[in-house]
Amino acid sequence: MKIDTNIQAIALQNKMELMKLQASSDIKSNPIINTQAVSFSDTMNNMVNGINQQQLAAGAKMAAVDAGRSDDLVGAMVMSQKAGLSFSVLMQVRNKLMSGFDDIMRMPL
């Protein structure tokens, strides 16, 4: 199990390095950086949907361990922690956005 976790961690690091290289080459090759409009609501919807999928996958893994269909308790716990951290980040982003909105609403005209 530990070897599988290490392999997954290495694969994730390699994927992150590849994404970093792709992002840096895109910035260098494009003199005008991304002129397309990015929709805030689409970004938030994608983020919420991604976190929901993580929560569902973690729940499914935990249910499989509870039912005895899987013995990957460590994987289930790690996935559960990842989903919990993602949700915490989402709540922090929401809190910052609401705080900024409140500040804007309190500004005198």
Residues 74, 28: one domain?
Answer: no
**Are 21 and 43 found together in one domain?**
no
Look up residue 39 and give its two tokens. 């929709």
DSSP 12-51: HHHHHHHHHHHHHHHHHH-SS---S---HHHHHHHHHHHH
Whether the pLDDT of residue 62 is over 90: the answer is yes
11 and 43 assigned to the same domain: no
Tokens of 102: 């409140």
On whether both 43 and 87 belong to a single domain, the answer is: yes
Reported pTM: 0.60
Query: So what's the pLDDT on residue 42?
Result: 87
- Residues 89 and 83: their CA atoms lie apart, in Å, by 10
- The residue among 40 and 102 whose pLDDT is bigger is 102
Range of the domain at 6: 1-36
**One domain for residues 53 and 17:** no
For the chain, the first-to-last Cα distance in angstroms comes to 61
pLDDT at 8 over 80: no
Where residue 42 falls (left for φ over 0; alpha for ψ -120 to 50; beta otherwise) is: alpha
Residues 61, 108 within the same domain: yes
